Amino acid sequence: MAHLSIATGGGDEDEDVSLSWPGVSDGMPRLLPVPSAWWETPAVTSRALSARPEEARTARRFVRELLTCWGLEALSDDAEMIVDELVVNAVLHGTRAGLGHSNPGLTVLRLCMLRRAGEVMLAVIDPGNETPTPRQPDWGGESGRGLQIVSALSHVWGWSPIAGHGKAVWAVLRDP
């Protein structure tokens, strides 16, 4: 089973977080129980997003700029595609409870990024409690491929429940 922990001592940011990823062979999301406070740690860089599909553009720009600052430009194209799918899915499925739809300008989503030696974790937090499940799209269908794209481009992906706040859907990219 995957685990995640935050060290409380000093050290550079690559040593602050310990992650162990489960083996992935079927493309299904992995449940990663994470303490809710983890997403608030200084090791995580985040940006608030509104529950609007257009926010995917803002998220892509944020991801590219941050990866460039971190010297990980090689991950930008895949990271942008992944975060685009995660944001759109969060808007369409993670805000179904009515949060964000009555006032789409309301900030109800959060994009989080964590840099570690050799990898980057991207996560989108939404207020929904539904388990993200890849669908088998119709041959001619225009939707249903988002999580398949996330699975294909990431080293591992999954979701983490956040007590009283919904869930984080995340993906990890490895530096080539």
Of the given ranges (1-15, 26-40, 77-91), which has the lowest mean pLDDT? 1-15
CATH of residue 76's domain is: 3.30.565.10
* Distances from the Cα of 19 to the Cα of 88, 128, 158, angstroms: 26, 24, 13
The answer to whether residue 35 sits within a structural domain is yes
Query: Is the Cα dihedral 142, 147, 151, 153 positive or negative?
Result: positive
Tens of pLDDT along 63-106? 999 999 999 999 999 999 999 999 998 988 777 654 444 555 55
pTM of the predicted model as reported, rounded to 2 decimal places: 0.75
The range of the structural domain enclosing residue 112 comes to 26-174
Q: How many domains does the chain have?
A: 1
CA atoms within 13 A on the CB side of 137: 11
